[in-house]
Amino acid sequence: MASEGPVADVREGGTWTPRQRLKNDVVYALVRALLAFALILPRRALRAVCRALGFVAYCILPRTRRIVAARLEAGLGSSNVRTQSVFTTVAEMLADTLDLLRPGERAGARLSLDPASRRVFADALAEGRGVVFVAAHLGPWERMAALLVEEGFPVATVARESYDPRFTELYERLRRPRGVRSLYRGRRGVALSIARELAEGRAVGFLVDIPARVPSITRRLFGADVLVPIGPARIALARRAAVVVGTCAPAASASGSSHPSVLISRVPLDDLGPESCAEDVLVTRIAAELERRIAAWPEAWLGGFVPPGRPAALRRALDPH
């Protein structure tokens, strides 16, 4: 079959060929139909369907299964965490995200904010220079952003537009009604928007655990060398903003809750060493903290599906932000 040439990226001013448009129209129509069907289902049924789809994916995608198994082995060594559980747990996270589209669904219904973490975040915001909030695709990360806004915290997130603008609008249906504002990198003026958010003492969230088309440096993350964006560290140091790492964590049996919680910790900035190496040191600290969080809940990490050595083009295709 003859190649059509490079796929046009409308985010960069390209236009689709008629064949690309037809394919994208079919994909969009299918996704809309599946969304409509999913939201008809009761929550328990939706979760069961997503878990079943995760199990089916585990059975029919041997290459992806090998990637996940290799990431688990690299990050944990010998462990009782099974590859199958990664597929089904991440599928459950999809169900959780879809639940946020239901009218009346509270973000705090199935996720809580750890009291100590609430104090850490509030104290960082109280300093008035803004907060760089570093996160990972770990657990119900979309619900986490919605929960923080629900708890009264001013939060915006830096995101990557979808290859199809109609999917970007679907993301907005998920976030905008809950007060989560998206700052789309690649759009004109986004750097100024981030600076304004921080200058006004608000928090800006960055997901940094899956490689993206941004300036990055290699760091160790969950047993492998990966590209970690340097932007959050650079912005925090330039704006003198506080830096926190915030991720979802599995339900703790001691708490008596059956739902995950949000854990937020401060990253120290007062001992980074000479200015010339401060960015590198800060990125290293961020990566180390994220690695610790991922190791505590590896089956709920979307990044396990992305091999560190995957070519850049495929990495971009897997990056939802």
In this prediction, residue 3 carries a pLDDT of 42
Q: Using H for helix, E for strand and C for coil, what is the string for 254-281?
A: HHCCCCCEEEEEECCCCCCCCHHHHHHH
Phi, psi dihedrals of residue 247, rounded to the nearest 5°: -145, 165
What is the pLDDT at residue 8?
61
CB atoms within 10 A of CB 231: 21
**For residue 103, what pLDDT is reported?**
87
Confidence (pTM): 0.90
Q: Which helix (H) or strand (E) holds 317?
A: helix 312-318
What pLDDT score was predicted for residue 309? 60
What pLDDT sits at residue 307? 86
Given a contact cutoff of 8 angstroms between Cβ atoms, the answer to whether 202 and 145 are in contact is no
Could you tell me the maximum CA-CA distance found in the chain, to the nearest angstrom? 60
Q: Which helix (H) or strand (E) holds 74?
A: helix 62-76
> Which run of H or E residues covers position 179?
none
pLDDT tens string, the chain, 321 residues long: the values are 444 444 566 666 678 888 999 999 999 999 999 999 999 999 999 999 999 999 999 999 999 999 999 999 999 987 778 999 999 999 999 999 999 999 889 999 999 999 999 999 999 999 999 999 999 999 999 999 999 999 999 999 999 888 889 999 988 998 999 999 999 988 888 999 999 999 999 999 999 999 888 899 999 999 999 999 999 999 999 999 999 999 999 987 555 568 899 999 999 999 998 888 999 999 999 999 999 999 999 999 999 999 876 544 334 444 444
Residue 311 has a pLDDT of 41
Query: Which residue ranges make up each domain of the chain?
Result: 17-99, 107-318
| Contact (CB, 8 A) for 262 and 148 | yes
Torsion sign over Cα 246, 252, 254, 257: positive
Q: What does the alpha-carbon distance between residue 9 and residue 28 come to, in Å, rounded to a whole number?
A: 16
